[in-house]
Structure 1
Amino acid sequence: MTGEFTISLFMVSDWGVGTGRGASGYVDRLVQREEQSSALAPAPPVVPAKTLVGVWRDSCELAAYALDSGFVGVWHAWVRYLFGGQYALASRTPEAANRTSSPAALTLDGPLRLPGRLSEVLRERPHVALATTFRKPGVAVDPRTGGAEEGMLRFEEMARNGVTLEGRARIDGFDKLDEAQREAAVALLDAGARLLERIGGKRRRGPGRCRMTLDGPGVSPEWTPPPPDGVPPPPGGPRHEVADRPEPAGTAGPGWERVELLVTVEQPVLVAATVLGNVVRGADHLPGWCLMPEVARRLGGGAHALVRTGDLVVTAAFPVSPSGAGTLPVPRVLVHEKNADGTVIGNQMAEGGPSRGKPYREGYLVPEGPERYTVVTPAGTVRMHNTIQDDLQRPTREVGGVYVYRALATGTVLRAEVRVRTGTLDDGWARRLAGRWRIGRSAKDDYGKIQVTATPVSAPAGVPPAGGRGDGELRMWLLSGLLVRDRRLRPSMDPRDVARALERAFAKAGAPGVRLEPVTGTEERPTSTTTGRGVTSALGEQRTDSWHRGWNLPRPTLYGLAQGSCLTFTVKDGALTPEVLAEVRAAGVGERRAEGFGQVEFDHHVLLCPVDASPSVSPVPAGPAGPVEPLAPDEKGHREARVFERATWRAEIHRACERIRADPASRARVVPARVSGTQLNALRRIVRGLPSGRAESELLWLTRDKAGRPSWPKEAVTALRRLLTDPDTVWELLELPQDRLVVTRDGIESLRAELRHEAVRVLTDSCLAAHVRDEATSTGTGSER
């Protein structure tokens, strides 16, 4: 039995989950939206999974307090099992402070979104997409005077009510629970969902009222708790276990089987995070150590044995260029102009390399042609979050406070490779790698979902033998971090220790007699070494910190050379054949090669050739996609679409009325001239009474000839009668772009019928107000401001 649930959140009132920032000159507080949007239409608002998990946990804690009659009990244990551990404050018990954090069994499949195809259709209709939110003004009240403070007017963006947002959640390990444990888990989640009444910002002041419902295994229309005496505790122990003795793998043959992984980011991915104050900055690629656990889990028990022996290698996933070509970490011997790091201007390792320019420290190399390259950096997304302290109900430093995540953006495409020794796994093992993965930090809610496709590929062509220039030198380019140790087993960046690691790798690959000597300058440990021929090495350091999910503890820090570093060695003894170099390129160098460390290139043409510094040609962007079909009346999301369509039409009606009232000729088609103000006020009363069924008779009574007053113009009476009785007249006057104001098939017909009387009232009132103002101005009885 799968533990997957469908979440429905109906918004009773206007709502909004803030981003923590505003737009200068537009609004002071923006709402969270979907990642993907078009160039013209804003993305629709969403409820982030982090926000929902926070308020859902509070509701479940409230239910657990009532069921346990206190703060301790089996239901509180279920809250911890489902939602994971929390920060332990010093004011709590010592046992809680020393307890390690536990992972959450409840995982949400991203934020709650509008149902069906509605988000996709809105991207093609900017007018309707703009109506998904509105701006609400507010002020700060002076506590002394009770009035508005000077200069404290603000505008906040709010999403419209009356819509239902949907999402999916699952309980990891649900099939391993017994029947009683499943009932307890579902009962607690259902109780918390029924108690959840508000969500988002300003929810204690009116916005954010909602109704949450679950649909899934064990959820019933009426909530019934399990028997008080029969509630079992949640399972204990870690949920990420690996056998001490993995299954043995098959006999390894010569060569490697290779599978290319094409990774598409569906939610922002945060991996290899670097913490700078309250900013958590993720890597701009997916390291191999982040992908390797999921690869081993999908391949089965034998894969764990291959990882330990180095017969399974998972390389890092680097971004794909806009043209679809693969990229590699930019070597640090390439340079660029200051403040213009997109185009490579020179190669300091090549003969006659430039003496000016700034070396690259990050980015990925894209070949644009012979001796011409461009460096690109994948897009990132920045999101602000906070952790609420329960007793104070606001973010505090003790529980994490306000923090910012910078992660790989949605839509990023990356490419990695899985290499396995020939014959060690059964045929068809590549198919098990395809599918949807969740990786990285905070993968239980808004981050970490990727789509992976696996394709077997052949080995690349052999590389030229060492000493491609005929000078007996070997030039190495690091495609990932390199971990080596010195003679005292300390992490090292010394090129001499790298040379010893290379010699061991060559010996294992079939060249035991190779002896290497690093080409360095006079300094003992330089970061950039030059000779008469140019730069021979350019080094950078890299520190890797990660988390062990099985132990719920941080892993040891890994310190070594950074990807993109370049070194040059002199081959003193032995011969390096293309087969030996290809084997080392596939297997890697140094420690932890199975996790993608130690990936290298030898005598690559990027290092050997000069660079053409002429401007490159930008790729031609892809054409727009085909039109999206509007929503059918029986399709999911139709009711929510009508809410946005109605708001769009009302805004366009008011905009058209403003245009008509400003033009006296257009206004005369609605409000006749030479009619007294008393008569016009009576016309306003008739229009405001629509639809009463007596509008035509009341208009005839009003416009009848009567002694002592001017007669109504006959053409004006005819026009007003058509405006009040004919269903098409008001729309002819307003001239709305109706095709651009709907996202449903029946939107035009339904909204014309629904909003016709409202449109007549707004048009008449607007024209009457402008007519009275002009009359007062022309006769001198009014004043202008």
Structure 2
Amino acid sequence: MSDSTVIISLTLRMLSDWHIGTGTAAHGHISRRVLRDEHGLPYVPAKTLNGVWRDACEVAAHALDSGPAGVWHDWVEYLFGSQPAYPGEEATREPDAIARHPRSAALRLRGPLRLPGKLGPALVGRKELRDAVTFVRPGVAIDACTGTAAEDKLRFDEMARGGLSLVGKAELPASLNEAERGCALALLWAGAALVEGIGAKRRRGAGRCRLEPSGPGMPPSPQRLRELAQAPVPPPEADQPAGPDPVEVPQASGPGWERALLRMELVTPLIAYDRTIGNAVQSRDHAPGWMLLREVLSRLGSQAAAAARRGDLVVTPATPMIDDMPGRPVPRVLAQGKDSPEQFVNRMAGREPESDEVFKRVRSGYLPAVPGHGLTLSRPRTVLRMHNTIADASQRPSARLGGVYVYRALAAGTVLAAEVRVRSELLEKGWPERLAGEWRLGRSRKDDYGLVRVTIVPEVRSDPPHRELREGDRLKVWLLSDTLVRNLRLAPSTDPADLARALQNAFAAAGASGVVLQAVDADDGLMHASFETSRTDSWHTGWRLPRPTLLGFAAGGCLEFRVVAGRIDADALVAVEMAGIGERRGEGFGRIRLNDPLLDEAHPAIASSERAARPPVSEGTPLPFEVGKPGHAEARIIEEAAWRTEIWRCSEKRAADLDRPVLGDLTALSPTQLNAIRTLFGHLDEPEPRLRARIERLTRRWNRQSGARQALEDLLLTPTQPWELLNLPESTLSLTKDGPQRLQRELRSEALRSLLTACMAAHSRHQAHLSPQEAR
């Protein structure tokens, strides 16, 4: 993120209860569940806010342009991106809108809107407080004919509590000049003022909200708004595809490669597109090198772009970081016991044990780059999120526009690692530090996905040294990434003979000419080749067109060759591993490992396969009592709701404890006299003399010897009486430092009403079950 990027702070104030759901239910408990984050707290997805904000900006643009087209509508498309034309909508669009390439959004939201300040971390580990953020609201469908409740239509919807504020950030590109920035901010401010509801059931009172953007130039002054409305400037033109770079890069003068190890922490989930199955978009378990290349070149400049075209700059795929190094995809020759997951066998070096145990190939996961003791097979954690597309006319999800769709993405908090390799002394010193910062990667990176924080690891460990290979030796190849090779007719190929020819060419370029490789025949019961075909479909952002489909060997494949002729020294093996083989090596294709020690172990010691654990979270701590501090107002709302819930629970629990009755001498009263106490419930907040006088009038005809009047005065007039009887866990129900004292003062009357109501109801039930003799 550039220092001159325009940052817009967003505050969404929820004026009523709201519901943004997951599309799922809890059988027998909740019909519609609220969407929650990794801490179990509700939030507003950036996609949801983006759609509502865009609709509001379209209304503002229609008013400013006095029609369905104009400069302000162009600004809407610039800020929020192009929308495809669907059947029935072509007539409302300009004639060439359908033929134009889609335009990406300039406005980018930095993830979802969440609870402000330290409120989210403070709720971690506190179930009572976390549950108080939401509540369950019953509902029923009304029969249109009878006007009464319809049969079998009772439902229970989970709602997030109103009164909360959620905060987030958005950003605009730094390339806008002052006039263009003014138009963009003015339109965004006007659209935010028109946002009145968000989420489900907003036509029926739920989801009422107020969107408040702030930042430099926000809100615009009235005079500035009038000037922009009268003479707006058009938005910048879409970026044109870059032409040939005229920059010439000198030949590398130093030996070897300079390497930069990138540590990439996912701030938001990442969608590295793999394939679409039905309405589900599947992400890869890593970020391919071609996804990282654009960000790398934008930070290193035109010289790096020229070096990449020449093969002097390589970006490896970003795989899960294991032991401070990029993990390697599990080799396809590795099999695991079906019933004994701790047993592994390398089918390239050994056979399966002669037993009833069934071994199945390990199809996913990553291993450490440097094998050793405690080798662990790890898999990155993924998340599943559901979204939908809303029709403008009906404001409901529509199958015609795509309907409901699902994203499976790498989870936030996952740490990936990748290498950027440049020929020595090709770029100026200090180039790795320019790669640090925040990146945007993958699909839907304008809102909820693809925000990555990149840091540079100071040391990059090297692989163990190789030994020289001579005629008759074996060469085991482990594909660390997808590899693209061609046959003699220049067509994409997955023939091992074509891979051998690509290896021979790579060795010749590394100084080992005359090498001839031949695939090893499977005549000894071992698996000498195991690979799959990979297919890569991607999108060229600069051209705004799909890229050609790439077919090749999939990552994790293993092949074994015999050196028929020639000699390969250790330096040539290292050079080929660093540069890769095949085509498009600069984009991360063709990464290989030669004669890795793991491929020679028949039964490697590997820990049981497990998915990466969730990042540890710390216990919440009370917020300091400071009026106006971010999150303090929301904390008071949440802890008050938690206290009310706990008051009702403890009242019922206390009423059920017959060994410690709360009513005491009041049980001697008749049912009529006991129920007459309810007339005092509306006056518990009155001053003590006035409340005492009311008690005197109520108990005037009571038996003075029974002690009932004194028991009633003790219950209603003693300030600490309800809290001593309820014994609430105040420390776990409070977020603010003054919470217990404030809530004991404000909720005392409510606690008394709840306690006495529950105890009198329990006493009446108990009396109803007594026989006439026991009742006397």
Do Structure 1 and Structure 2 share a fold, with TM-score over 0.5? yes
Matching residue of 1:59? 56
Unpaired segments ≥5 residues, structure 1: 38-42, 521-529
Out of 734, 751, 762, the position equivalent to 2:754 is: 762
Matching residue of 2:706? 713
* Compared CA separation, residues 164 and 338, structure 1 to 2 (3 A): same
Structure 1 residue 710 displacement after superposition: 2.6
1:82 aligns with 2:79: yes
* Compared CA separation, residues 62 and 617, structure 1 to 2 (3 A): closer
The TM-score with structure 2 as length reference comes to 0.92
CA distance in 2, matches of 1:77, 1:622: 43
Matching residue of 2:438? 436
SS at match of 2:719: coil
Structure 1 residue 204 displacement after superposition: 1.4
Matches of residues 329-348 of structure 1 in structure 2 within 5 Å?
Answer: 329-338=329-338, 343=342, 345-348=344-347
Kindly provide the amino acid, as one letter, of the partner of residue 650 in structure 1: R
Contact 1:187-1:226 at 8 Å conserved across structures: no
1:154 aligns with 2:142: no
Contact 2:186-2:219 at 8 Å conserved across structures: no
Matching residue of 2:526? 534
CA distance in 2, matches of 1:658, 1:501: 77
The TM-score with structure 1 as length reference comes to 0.91
Unpaired segments ≥5 residues, structure 2: none
Matching residue of 2:318? 317
Out of 633, 644, 652, the position equivalent to 1:650 is: 644
Out of 19, 28, 34, the position equivalent to 2:22 is: 19
CA distance in 2, matches of 1:369, 1:80: 51
1:659 aligns with 2:660: no
Matching residue of 1:703? 699
The one-character-per-residue Cα deviations of 1:361-386 (angstroms, maximum 9, x if unpaired) are 32223599868754332111001111
SS at match of 2:408: strand
Kindly provide the amino acid, as one letter, of the partner of residue 482 in structure 1: T
Out of 18, 30, 34, the position equivalent to 1:31 is: 34
SS at match of 1:253: coil
Matches of residues 345-360 of structure 1 in structure 2 within 5 Å?
Answer: 345-352=344-351, 357-360=359-362
Contact 1:437-1:450 at 8 Å conserved across structures: yes
Matches of residues 256-267 of structure 1 in structure 2 within 5 Å?
Answer: 256-267=257-268
SS at match of 1:95: coil
With 248-257 and 726-735 compared, the bigger mean Cα shift is at 248-257
Out of 621, 625, 631, the position equivalent to 2:623 is: 631
Matching residue of 2:13? 10
Matching residue of 1:608? 600
SS at match of 1:166: strand
Structure 1 residue 252 displacement after superposition: 3.8
With 200-209 and 219-228 compared, the bigger mean Cα shift is at 219-228
* Compared CA separation, residues 737 and 324, structure 1 to 2 (3 A): farther
With 530-539 and 205-214 compared, the bigger mean Cα shift is at 530-539
With 233-242 and 193-202 compared, the bigger mean Cα shift is at 233-242
The one-character-per-residue Cα deviations of 1:109-132 (angstroms, maximum 9, x if unpaired) are 100000000000000322101111
With 145-154 and 728-737 compared, the bigger mean Cα shift is at 145-154
Contact 2:381-2:613 at 8 Å conserved across structures: no
Aligned length: 757
CA distance in 1, matches of 2:610, 2:5: 48
The one-character-per-residue Cα deviations of 1:565-618 (angstroms, maximum 9, x if unpaired) are 111111111111111100110110001111111000111111111114787599
The one-character-per-residue Cα deviations of 1:352-408 (angstroms, maximum 9, x if unpaired) are 455862223322235998687543321110011111121232233332221110000
Matches of residues 34-49 of structure 1 in structure 2 within 5 Å?
Answer: 34=37, 36-37=38-39, 43-49=40-46
Contact 2:134-2:161 at 8 Å conserved across structures: yes
Kindly provide the amino acid, as one letter, of the partner of residue 90 in structure 1: P
SS at match of 2:603: coil
Matching residue of 2:447? 445
Contact 1:466-1:474 at 8 Å conserved across structures: no
SS at match of 2:349: coil
Matching residue of 1:411? 413
The one-character-per-residue Cα deviations of 1:197-251 (angstroms, maximum 9, x if unpaired) are 0000111122100011110121137663434441111111317757632463574
CA distance in 1, matches of 2:29, 2:577: 54
Kindly provide the amino acid, as one letter, of the partner of residue 379 in structure 1: R
SS at match of 2:420: strand
* Compared CA separation, residues 509 and 65, structure 1 to 2 (3 A): same
SS at match of 2:200: coil
With 614-623 and 176-185 compared, the bigger mean Cα shift is at 614-623
CA distance in 1, matches of 2:180, 2:705: 80
Structure 1 residue 459 displacement after superposition: 5.6
* Compared CA separation, residues 600 and 199, structure 1 to 2 (3 A): same
Matches of residues 86-125 of structure 1 in structure 2 within 5 Å?
Answer: 86-91=83-88, 92-93=90-91, 95-125=96-126
Matches of residues 178-217 of structure 1 in structure 2 within 5 Å?
Answer: 178-217=177-216
Kindly provide the amino acid, as one letter, of the partner of residue 334 in structure 1: L
* Compared CA separation, residues 531 and 686, structure 1 to 2 (3 A): same
Matching residue of 2:674? 680
Matching residue of 2:386? 384
CA distance in 2, matches of 1:102, 1:542: 29
CA distance in 2, matches of 1:640, 1:324: 40
* Compared CA separation, residues 366 and 625, structure 1 to 2 (3 A): same
Matches of residues 168-187 of structure 1 in structure 2 within 5 Å?
Answer: 168-173=169-174, 176-187=175-186
1:578 aligns with 2:574: no
Structure 1 residue 741 displacement after superposition: 0.5
* Compared CA separation, residues 780 and 138, structure 1 to 2 (3 A): farther
Matching residue of 2:740? 748
With 52-61 and 743-752 compared, the bigger mean Cα shift is at 743-752
Matching residue of 1:504? 505
Matches of residues 248-263 of structure 1 in structure 2 within 5 Å?
Answer: 248=249, 251-263=252-264
SS at match of 1:586: helix
Kindly provide the amino acid, as one letter, of the partner of residue 23 in structure 1: A
Structure 1 residue 453 displacement after superposition: 1.3
Kindly provide the amino acid, as one letter, of the partner of residue 328 in structure 2: L
Structure 1 residue 561 displacement after superposition: 0.4
Structure 1 residue 304 displacement after superposition: 0.7
The one-character-per-residue Cα deviations of 1:96-118 (angstroms, maximum 9, x if unpaired) are 22222100000001000000000
CA distance in 2, matches of 1:505, 1:154: 66
* Compared CA separation, residues 370 and 165, structure 1 to 2 (3 A): closer
CA distance in 1, matches of 2:62, 2:24: 36
Kindly provide the amino acid, as one letter, of the partner of residue 336 in structure 1: Q
Contact 2:270-2:451 at 8 Å conserved across structures: yes
Matches of residues 366-405 of structure 1 in structure 2 within 5 Å?
Answer: 366=368, 373-405=375-407
SS at match of 1:381: strand
Contact 2:389-2:398 at 8 Å conserved across structures: yes
* Compared CA separation, residues 671 and 104, structure 1 to 2 (3 A): farther
The one-character-per-residue Cα deviations of 1:468-489 (angstroms, maximum 9, x if unpaired) are 9x95111101000000011111
* Compared CA separation, residues 262 and 780, structure 1 to 2 (3 A): farther
C-alpha RMSD of the superposition: 2.6
* Compared CA separation, residues 365 and 188, structure 1 to 2 (3 A): same
* Compared CA separation, residues 573 and 165, structure 1 to 2 (3 A): same
Contact 2:639-2:733 at 8 Å conserved across structures: yes
Contact 1:74-1:232 at 8 Å conserved across structures: yes
Kindly provide the amino acid, as one letter, of the partner of residue 144 in structure 2: P
SS at match of 1:32: coil
SS at match of 2:770: helix
Contact 2:7-2:215 at 8 Å conserved across structures: yes
CA distance in 2, matches of 1:621, 1:62: 46
Structure 1 residue 532 displacement after superposition: 1.1
* Compared CA separation, residues 576 and 354, structure 1 to 2 (3 A): farther
Kindly provide the amino acid, as one letter, of the partner of residue 8 in structure 1: T
Contact 1:249-1:305 at 8 Å conserved across structures: no
Contact 1:272-1:287 at 8 Å conserved across structures: no
